[in-house]
Structure 1
């Protein structure tokens, strides 16, 4: 049954696929359809033409390959490649797309039909949660589909990195799938069938064998019910990290699907086990979701009892993972096996003289593109500055000149660099990949580097051994250096400085990020104004994002009910460490010396003993002139028990912060600058020496990751 709804803007009725009936009646094109009912090997050349409709403005110019600049390879399959491309012609100049290129010669007749079906389904479906087809065209040897570029990557890549998800993660993703095209962003319709209802069956044998339903494997004919079996396979793999039925080869896998008993992991909840058993029914008639209510049967299952379907539909529930992408052409979440390749679209040999007839009516231009064509002066979004910086350079040395060292870390060195094309100065952090994994730092900077008080990541280069993180240059130097060099620094100024830094830390903590290395040398001024708003928190090399017990990134607002208590406890401990570091900074700004070290000559044992006992003085020297509010705040930020320290939100609400105008404005004295900096360095050196780092094997060594790597296609186009 076709559902019809009224378009609120123009009053036209639209079908469930979102295409206006009024528009559908305007034009028609020929297309190729294969009749799969009772299909046999001899039927491969049986093709019939029928008419379908799509949206094309009369006289519009069709796109071709010369209209797109190849940027990167995103993926590769048996029949072709997917490229990241940039449009170089109006009306959508500089717009990024994903370009799917298929070789006609490698497509059997069945595959040609499926490709045409994919193009027709994508052209018909106009929905914000289904990947949008913008252009379709062909040459003698190839077919081209120009689609939305989705920077976050796919669920498979996420699963490959994280091994498996928690039940709550799985519940979220499955619930989106169960809602249908309204919320899940589907991207590959190459194996889809149009117009299958509960009374009709398809007989095609296609798809990944491990996900096939028994009725697909034995070719008895299948309906929508087969999708719910695949739904169960996806659930099983996400929740356990392995497939339910997998043999040593394709034939054995098919045999297991038809006959083997399901090995149900006992660590799964009773509700999860119940849903899996209901989905893995070999008789499709008995399978959950196969009845007249369809997806509603799935949604009513107890596994989804705490899902608010209305909120999920309206996208009011925060997802368990948000990809860290900041640049328009970011391919961070695509496999480097593909993205590292040189993008090249070689000429394709036509399959036959009738190639264009086989794919007659393939060309397509989206309505939105045609509407843009009619505008006299189309508005174009300027390219992102990162894209302009990087251009098409591959090596760091192609775009930048390295200058002098400006900082040194345990596994990295920071240098000044100059961008060749613009002569603009930047800083670059060169990280030794053999000593540390910079992935977490890059993710955090990509996701949160747009905050005004977090250092901005401009670009990333990876030569295999080192990673180059190009950032804005901190011309104002370190916070402590500037304070100690100032002739006049008051308690009121200290309050303004702490407010800016704590406000930034509070933002990071709210996103589930802990810095864990907030020493003064990692807090710098972007310019020489000395304005607290020009402060930047830098060096996220030790920072962590809140993760569930399986390593999946979470945010506190989502995980309150879903993360193990010990994980949240650890997160609270790390947040407490950040507050303690801010307490040390505040103490030093007010007292003129550090709280736990007298100088660089203090031993780590002496420093750690003072820290552990919570021994620091709030009398004598500057403290005699410092307000009681300041002493109260320092004591609460330096509390020995991290869980009893103030949170960043509580610090921001403290009277010493909100009543700044009442604070003394008299000059605070300080020790010799070198002595203070030496004592501060000794403090953090002692802390690091007391925290042994556990050695973990890389995720690539896991059996699951190795299996998935083997499955990656490596055919050429």
Structure 2
């Protein structure tokens, strides 16, 4: 839907020194505080001699390599605040104070404390790595490490990098990337930042999900809070762009700009990005008239327009024409947008920045008060208590699914940096930094045919095989199109399970995406790795050492209603989570519910095998947010979704029946014919009286009957099951041992039940009468006045 870059970049905002300085990508802009107020100065460095003065350290620079403080609450530096020289329009040099802060008691970081895992990006003067901290207090924490070579940085880039460190050290906001460490060697500068795994917002939404104006409002509101915070520190983006808005694993945004837009890798392969685009620039930025934070709210309007319409408001055939449109063109407002959305866009697209919304003294408060955001609870939003409309498909903490495989497939190597000129060292004094919280708390590739999930193409580069990382062991399970084996990770000697799927028989994309997006849930099997050799896909998951749920229950010497309630509660809570996300499992037979260990604790239960699972999608194949589903999905689609959810509840009802009675509801044993089993299922014939059911509570029988109702639309939902007295009042349930039968007979009957269902012909799908051929033919014969 959006015209957005197909690759995801990590970037960090390199704009300013807090409050006093605004550093732009092509020039230096300075707030001069004087008696007459704030005036804007914008000028390039005068000449190379001026640059050499800065590098040579003609002016003093702050130095903060060590720390001394007399109070735990007091931040100090081992030198006095220093100054930096900048030219104004009249040629006068202004000195601006720079203060560097390091928390008391911190240990200075260095490169040896970080293990290089992957290359995330590369530019002409440095790289971005995925790294793991190997020392306390944050050992094993993953970060993005930006490494810049001092010798290859131009003078302006050196100033920008130093300012970037100063800015980020002061920024602490839920929707802005966080700097955790900064340090340097003789030849390099290091920034250690948040590792954001969700990819960029625009690419993810445009390729994966159908959304509404209400969904867009959520992201714009988080963006507004992030921008407002930056503005409060004196930071101006000036060129806010889509790739600067990334998603964390929960789906919340982070404003970021690592300053490493993808550049030419070599003479044959090239990577391109949005760097240098003008489509998001405000008119005053385009014509270089000088600008304030108001320019960012114009860019905010451009992003809003693009998210709501799928196109840019001002875009010509080339850069020059685009700039002309930004300065002069009249914008046509799409009429399908709500009145409030149109009103906000008009208020943002004021070419006179002083008339633009949020340009006044109230700043972002004007945005927050606008009618478009009337449904937003800003306090809850800031506390991240509002659930994002979309959750990215990420699983492992160190995955890099949304980074260009051209980079991530490379061996991470931080080469020695050539020292810069001797005079350059002064500029980087005071660069080292450590986040106070640490002390207080010790591009998707294009799909091929048949289309695999983009994740498979990016995990390990193009040539790495499953056998390079793992050793296959014995079989532990078999499905229609897959085999499951135990495997051992070569590097760590850790045991896992691997599901090997035949790609010629089935497309594993949906299963992979569901596991990536929702495998973080404690009771859903965790996907560890994915490989693809063009014939098979290898899904590496945690090993289920505790075995199947039903096996364990049937072999227990004592199993009570109270324990059965705890088991069902855990499973149903997980199913409810999936249903709330628009996911139906559709194969919740007991053999797909396992224990991860031998504890028998309900918390160790995992729902596995999502080979038949589905996500609720629109006709175009895109996912749908809950808001979109509620407002725009056809009734028959919702009816089908309800049917599938009902099937999941029916399967849980079969499991509950078997846990309570010790035998299955519709099959007496493996000798029952499929026809007999299907007749009992179709007629809803099962017994809740006599024999094994005598000691079972009435509350349990009531729940079983409602979960096994023959009409899927009259069965309880997962939420209703969780609210049933048998679940809620578990402590009042009897603790007596439930009856048991021969485990082999019970498992055989259960297998026969699901085999009969699998091999039966699917029921005809009911559609609206008016969609039938006969009805359509009759409509065509009606006179036009009747239509």
TM-score of Structure 1 vs Structure 2, range by shorter chain: 0.7 to 0.9
Distance change (3 Å), C-alpha of 1:477 and 1:349: closer
| C-alpha separation in 1, matches of 2:601 and 2:180 | 48
- Check conservation: 1:136, 1:363, Cα contact below 8 A: yes
What secondary structure is seen at the aligned counterpart in 2 of 1:123? helix
| C-alpha separation in 2, matches of 1:234 and 1:522 | 44
What secondary structure is seen at the aligned counterpart in 1 of 2:303? helix
The alpha carbon displacement at 1:479 in A equals: 4.1
Aligned counterpart in structure 2 of residue 247 of structure 1, from 290, 313, 316: 316
Aligned counterpart in structure 2 of residue 575 of structure 1, from 630, 645, 667: 645
Aligned counterpart in structure 2 of residue 102 of structure 1, from 143, 148, 154: 148
- Equivalence map 1:69-468=2 (5 Å): 69-77=115-123, 79-88=125-134, 93-104=139-150, 107-127=153-173, 129-138=175-184, 142-162=188-208, 165-179=211-225, 180-181=228-229, 185-188=254-257, 208-323=277-392, 327-348=396-417, 354-357=423-426, 359-361=427-429, 363-366=431-434, 368=436, 379=442, 396-420=466-490, 425-432=495-502, 435-437=507-509, 438-444=511-517, 446-448=519-521, 450-451=522-523, 454-457=524-527, 459-463=528-532, 465=534, 466-468=536-538
Q: Residue by residue, what CA displacement relative to the aligned partner does 1:323-358 show, whole Å, maximum 9, x if unpaired?
A: 56665434345444433332233345567564334x
Distance change (3 Å), C-alpha of 1:35 and 1:227: farther
| C-alpha separation in 2, matches of 1:497 and 1:369 | 39
The alpha carbon displacement at 1:516 in A equals: 2.4
| C-alpha separation in 1, matches of 2:165 and 2:695 | 72
- Asked if 1:536 is matched to 2:618, the reply is no
The alpha carbon displacement at 1:28 in A equals: 4.1
| TM-score normalised by length of structure 1 | 0.73
Q: Residue by residue, what CA displacement relative to the aligned partner does 1:621-670 show, whole Å, maximum 9, x if unpaired?
A: 86885866555433321224333211234334545554641888455589
The alpha carbon displacement at 1:529 in A equals: 7.4
- Equivalence map 1:448-597=2 (5 Å): 448=521, 450-451=522-523, 454-457=524-527, 459-463=528-532, 465=534, 466-480=536-550, 498-506=568-576, 508-509=578-579, 513-526=583-596, 535-544=605-614, 551=622, 572-587=642-657, 590=661, 592-593=663-664, 595=666
| C-alpha separation in 1, matches of 2:691 and 2:438 | 71
What secondary structure is seen at the aligned counterpart in 2 of 1:242? coil
The alpha carbon displacement at 1:226 in A equals: 0.9
| C-alpha separation in 1, matches of 2:750 and 2:105 | 72
Alignment partner, residue 11 of structure 2:
none
Distance change (3 Å), C-alpha of 1:70 and 1:231: same
| Farther-moved stretch of structure 1 (139-148 vs 485-494) | 485-494
Q: CA RMSD in A?
A: 4.7
Distance change (3 Å), C-alpha of 1:479 and 1:97: closer
Distance change (3 Å), C-alpha of 1:666 and 1:561: closer
| C-alpha separation in 2, matches of 1:494 and 1:360 | 64
- Check conservation: 2:182, 2:432, Cα contact below 8 A: yes
What secondary structure is seen at the aligned counterpart in 2 of 1:229? helix
| C-alpha separation in 1, matches of 2:210 and 2:153 | 34
Gaps of 5+ in 2: 1-17, 20-71, 231-251, 261-274, 443-458, 766-787
The alpha carbon displacement at 1:79 in A equals: 4.7
Distance change (3 Å), C-alpha of 1:597 and 1:214: farther
| Farther-moved stretch of structure 1 (243-252 vs 613-622) | 613-622
Distance change (3 Å), C-alpha of 1:107 and 1:669: closer
| C-alpha separation in 1, matches of 2:563 and 2:108 | 63
- Asked if 1:650 is matched to 2:720, the reply is yes
The alpha carbon displacement at 1:230 in A equals: 0.6
The alpha carbon displacement at 1:413 in A equals: 2.1
| C-alpha separation in 1, matches of 2:630 and 2:763 | 33
- Check conservation: 2:674, 2:753, Cα contact below 8 A: no
- Check conservation: 2:391, 2:517, Cα contact below 8 A: no
| C-alpha separation in 1, matches of 2:93 and 2:289 | 23
- Check conservation: 1:592, 1:622, Cα contact below 8 A: no
What secondary structure is seen at the aligned counterpart in 2 of 1:447? coil
The alpha carbon displacement at 1:212 in A equals: 0.8
The alpha carbon displacement at 1:289 in A equals: 1.9
| C-alpha separation in 1, matches of 2:216 and 2:546 | 47
| C-alpha separation in 2, matches of 1:105 and 1:691 | 71
| C-alpha separation in 1, matches of 2:390 and 2:96 | 43
- Check conservation: 2:559, 2:737, Cα contact below 8 A: no
Q: Residue by residue, what CA displacement relative to the aligned partner does 1:653-703 show, whole Å, maximum 9, x if unpaired?
A: 5455546418884555899457524422323414685699xxxxxxxxxxx
| C-alpha separation in 1, matches of 2:102 and 2:555 | 68
Q: Residue by residue, what CA displacement relative to the aligned partner does 1:418-445 show, whole Å, maximum 9, x if unpaired?
A: 3446655432223456722143232245
- Check conservation: 1:614, 1:639, Cα contact below 8 A: no
Alignment partner, residue 698 of structure 1:
none
The alpha carbon displacement at 1:285 in A equals: 2.7
| TM-score normalised by length of structure 2 | 0.67
- Asked if 1:52 is matched to 2:125, the reply is no
- Check conservation: 1:80, 1:102, Cα contact below 8 A: yes
Q: Residue by residue, what CA displacement relative to the aligned partner does 1:88-113 show, whole Å, maximum 9, x if unpaired?
A: 45665544322112345654444333
Q: Residue by residue, what CA displacement relative to the aligned partner does 1:585-619 show, whole Å, maximum 9, x if unpaired?
A: 34455483453899688568x877765x5442438
The alpha carbon displacement at 1:575 in A equals: 2.8
| C-alpha separation in 2, matches of 1:212 and 1:430 | 49
Gaps of 5+ in 1: 4-19, 192-205, 373-377, 380-389, 693-717
| Farther-moved stretch of structure 1 (516-525 vs 134-143) | 134-143
Distance change (3 Å), C-alpha of 1:667 and 1:342: closer
- Check conservation: 2:105, 2:439, Cα contact below 8 A: no
Alignment partner, residue 199 of structure 1:
none
Distance change (3 Å), C-alpha of 1:128 and 1:524: closer
How many correspondences in the alignment? 631
The alpha carbon displacement at 1:579 in A equals: 0.6
